[in-house]
């Protein structure tokens, strides 16, 4: 009976992973189908509308200056542009921002410093408070790790000639892509999200999401859609779907980028991934019933389900990993399940679909895509290795456990110098349970490999090695960073 239960759980988990991998093929199908379809070309701006740029910050002393100075350089009539520095900081960022705002106000810029001592609603709360006093008809938003291009407004505003357009999102560009294997792996993941998922969804008429930054909203769209909510950790995802359910249209620009800094260490990446995973599932629980009851097209509903539930793959990855040795023992001790184990080859098909998806995304963006796709194994290691961290996030969302909005640490694409190291690692000084679990999982797969060799079952060893490396590398680097080795 126990064997049957283990097999049912394992097969179900494999099937779920296969379904989500099949979604990659679904996206690739619509990529080919809509390849020659393009959004309407922008017209020349007939006039310059009032624009507010919001810069939400929290303890960003390493990048605040870079952000504000890059926004000041944006090419737009100074009398039509308002800049809001929405600073919730409680460190040196406060003085940095105050001094810069004072400097640029004296130079004639309409820039305001808005400081909240109590972070009610975190980023969403800051954006909402700023919006109440914003003079612009359009609201552009940039997070601290971005360096917007000087022509951002002129390249995006013309799309709003269509009164139904509520938001325009630009593609993220990675200014520190070549910094390490960690940033190269992230770049592969984000390139696929933007160049395939966002691009295809937009061309095919599916819902897309505002990515929280590097986009511009029609102010009336935000207000009409219920304004910013802070009952999820992904306020951007939440507002995006509420707006599109209200009938607003979004535009995604794949050919115009906004440069940004990628997290350069594992623990910063874990913070970001935890927030994205938990927030996505929170948004799913909040909005999926409304989506299912809405009158949008069935195909749009289907894609929305995949979009909202994507992070559910991680608990099933963890289940597949955890059942490795029990499944191996069943396979060795009995010949009654040969057909069932043949079914498990779906896991290999899922892996190939994943490789194809990310290869196409690199080819779609980069002439030297062959040099970039060689880092796919690092992406795969990072993705599988994040299963413990992201599963914790998903489970907390499913049981309704609330948590604070933790910012992703940035260091300005530089190594933190010695006198700043203690400050930079302040939030990382305690070894956490997920990192230890990752190390244990890695050792668990070492044991699985040994069993496979002893019992001459070599078919699953490549996947066991992959899982061993994934959990081992993520766990090792997490602990190394926390211990400041």
Q: What is the pTM of this model?
A: 0.93
pLDDT at 349: 75
Confidence of residue 418 (pLDDT cuts 50, 70, 90): very low
C-alpha 258, offset from chain centre = 15
**Catalytic residue chosen out of the listed positions 87, 145, 191, 236:** 236
pLDDT at residue 5 above 90?
Answer: yes
Answer with the residue of higher pLDDT: 410 or 427: 410
Yes or no: say if 469 and 381 are a contact pair by the CB < 8 Å rule. yes
Q: Is the pLDDT of residue 406 over 80?
A: yes
Annotation says 404 is catalytic: no
Work out whether strand 165-174 and strand 81-87 pair parallel, antiparallel, or are unpaired. unpaired
> Mean pLDDT of all residues in the chain?
91
Take residue 44 and report the two structure tokens written for it. 């020349």
Alpha-helical regions (H) of 34-90: 64-72
Residue ranges of the domains in the chain? Answer: 2-31+311-483
Choose between 340 and 225: higher pLDDT: 225
The C-alpha atoms of residue 60 and residue 71 are separated, in whole angstroms, by 16
Catalytic hit among 88, 191, 238, 265:
88
Segment 30-64, tens digit of pLDDT: 999 998 877 666 667 778 999 999 999 999 999 99
What is the structure's pLDDT at 426? 46
Is residue 341's pLDDT more than 80? no
CA distances from 297 to 204, 301, 310, 427, 435 (A): 12, 6, 20, 45, 43
Q: Supply the pLDDT for residue 424.
A: 43
88 is annotated as an active-site residue: yes
pLDDT digits (tens, 9 = 90+) for 111-161: 999 999 899 999 999 999 999 999 999 999 999 999 999 999 999 999 998
User: Is the confidence at residue 474, as pLDDT, over 80?
Assistant: yes
Q: Using the predicted structure, report yes or no on whether residue 387 has a pLDDT greater than 70.
A: yes
Least confident of 202-211, 335-344, 403-412, 422-431: 422-431
Q: Is the confidence at residue 429, as pLDDT, over 70? A: no
Average confidence (pLDDT) over 469-484: 89
CB of 164 within 8 A of CB of 279?
Answer: no
Q: What is the pLDDT of residue 428?
A: 47
> At residue 379, does pLDDT exceed 70?
yes
Sign of CA pseudo-dihedral 93, 95, 98, 102: negative
């Amino acid at each position: 009976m126990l064997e049957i239960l283990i097999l049912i759980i394992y097969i179900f988990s494999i099937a779920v992973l296969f379904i989500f991998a099949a979604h990659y093929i679904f996206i690739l199908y619509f990529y080919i189908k809509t390849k020659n379809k393009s959004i309407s070309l922008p017209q020349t701006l007939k006039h310059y509308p009032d624009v507010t740029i919001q810069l939400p910050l929290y303890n960003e002393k390493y990048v605040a200056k870079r952000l504000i100075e890059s926004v000041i350089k944006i090419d737009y009539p100074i009398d039509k542009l308002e800049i809001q520095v929405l600073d919730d900081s409680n460190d040196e960022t406060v003085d940095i921002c105050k001094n810069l705002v004072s400097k640029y106000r004296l130079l004639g810029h309409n820039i305001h410093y808005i400081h909240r001592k109590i972070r009610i609603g975190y980023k969403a709360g800051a954006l909402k408070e700023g919006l109440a006093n914003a003079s612009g008809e359009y609201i552009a938003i940039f997070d601290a790790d971005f360096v917007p291009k000087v022509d951002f407004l002129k390249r995006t505003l013309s799309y709003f000639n269509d009164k139904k357009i509520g938001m325009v999102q630009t593609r993220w560009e990675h200014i520190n892509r070549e910094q390490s294997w960690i940033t190269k792996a992230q770049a592969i993941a984000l390139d696929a999200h933007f160049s395939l998922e966002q691009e295809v969804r937009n061309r095919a008429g599916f819902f897309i999401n505002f990515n929280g930054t590097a986009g511009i909203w029609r102010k009336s769209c935000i207000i009409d859609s219920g304004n910013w909510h802070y009952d999820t950790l992904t306020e951007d995802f939440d507002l995006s779907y509420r707006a599109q359910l209200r009938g607003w249209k979004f535009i995604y620009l794949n050919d115009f980028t906004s440069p940004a800094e990628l997290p350069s260490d594992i623990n910063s990446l874990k913070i970001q991934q935890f927030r994205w995973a938990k927030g996505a599932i929170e948004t799913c629980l909040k909005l999926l019933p409304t989506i299912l009851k809405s009158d949008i097209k069935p195909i749009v509903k289907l894609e929305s389900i995949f979009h909202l539930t994507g992070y559910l793959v991680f608990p099933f990855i963890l289940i597949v990993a955890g059942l490795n040795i029990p499944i191996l023992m069943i396979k060795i001790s009995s010949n009654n399940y040969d057909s069932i184990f043949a079914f498990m080859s779906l896991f290999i098909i899922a892996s190939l679909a994943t490789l194809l998806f990310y290869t196409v995304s690199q080819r779609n963006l980069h002439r030297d895509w062959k040099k970039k796709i060689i880092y796919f194994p690092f992406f795969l290691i990072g993705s599988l290795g994040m299963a413990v961290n992201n599963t914790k996030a998903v489970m907390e969302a499913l049981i309704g456990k609330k948590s604070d909005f933790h910012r992703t640490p940035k260091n300005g694409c530089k190594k933190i110098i010695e006198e700043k190291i203690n400050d930079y690692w302040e939030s990382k000084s305690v070894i956490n349970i997920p990192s230890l679990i990752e190390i244990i999982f890695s050792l668990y797969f070492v044991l699985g490999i040994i069993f496979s060799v002893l019992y001459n079952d070599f078919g699953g060893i490549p996947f066991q090695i992959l899982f061993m490396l994934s959990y081992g590398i993520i766990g090792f680097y997490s602990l190394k960073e926390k211990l400041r080795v």
